[in-house]
Amino acid sequence: MSGLRLTLVLGTLLIAGCRQDMEDQPRYDPLEASNQFADGMSARTPVAGTVARDADLTPTSERIPYPITIELLQRGRQRFDIFCSPCHGRTGDGHGMIVQRGFPAPPSYHQDGLRKASDRHFYDVITNGYGAMYSYAARVPPQDRWAIVAYIRALQYSRDAPVAELPQILRRRLEAEASP
């Protein structure tokens, strides 16, 4: 019985020794004002060059790093239709449903400046956002970003494909449509 008493006495002493300092200390919400620092902020600005713990530091290719296959283009189309077409339209002309509801129109992928833009430009815009477009880095994985870039290139090519590069059957159809 004395062992039980000893345990109870030791337990009581340990509980009495607990303090509420950690729980009662001042705490600040992000970006809340504070008198702790001269600039009145409660938090410090990260040091220049600070990299997020989960940041992907692998170098990004300048061109689509995968072979252009029908599967890649189909995946790109699927992802484009989900993430891009509400603003950019299903053909990349910049007239998606959101634009039809009054939001500012994004540029058409078919304008000369974007035809000449590098693959990496499109990848970076999807990753970091640009203008009114916010970042899709958390929503679209890197491989899907490249699939979307491949599909954008296919959309661009579809509008301005040289007739000489078309299959014979398509050339005949174009000639038939052009003649009255």
Q: Give 133's strand partners.
A: 130
Average pLDDT, the chain: 88
- CA 122 to chain CA mean position, Å: 11
- Split at pLDDT 50, 70, 90, the class of 16 is low
- Secondary structure of residue 159 in the 3-state scheme: helix
| pLDDT, position 118 | 96
Label residue 151 exposed, middle or buried (CB < 10 Å: 0-12, 13-18, 19+): buried
For 67, the token pair is 């072979």
Look at residue 163 in the predicted model and tell me its pLDDT: 81
SS3 6: helix
Q: What is the pLDDT of residue 51?
A: 86
What is the structure's pLDDT at 30? 79
Q: What pLDDT, on a 0 to 100 scale, did the predictor assign at position 20?
A: 65
Q: pLDDT digits over 78-115, tens only?
A: 999 999 999 999 999 999 999 999 999 999 999 999 99
Burial class of residue 134, CB neighbours in 10 A (0-12, 13-18, 19+): exposed
How far apart are alpha carbons 125 and 137 in whole angstroms? 10
Residue 155 has phi, psi (to 5 degrees) of: -60, -45
Domains of the chain: 70-178 (1.10.760.10)
Q: What is the pLDDT of residue 18?
A: 66
pLDDT tens digit sequence for 108-165: 999 999 999 999 999 999 999 999 999 999 999 999 999 999 999 999 998 887 888 8
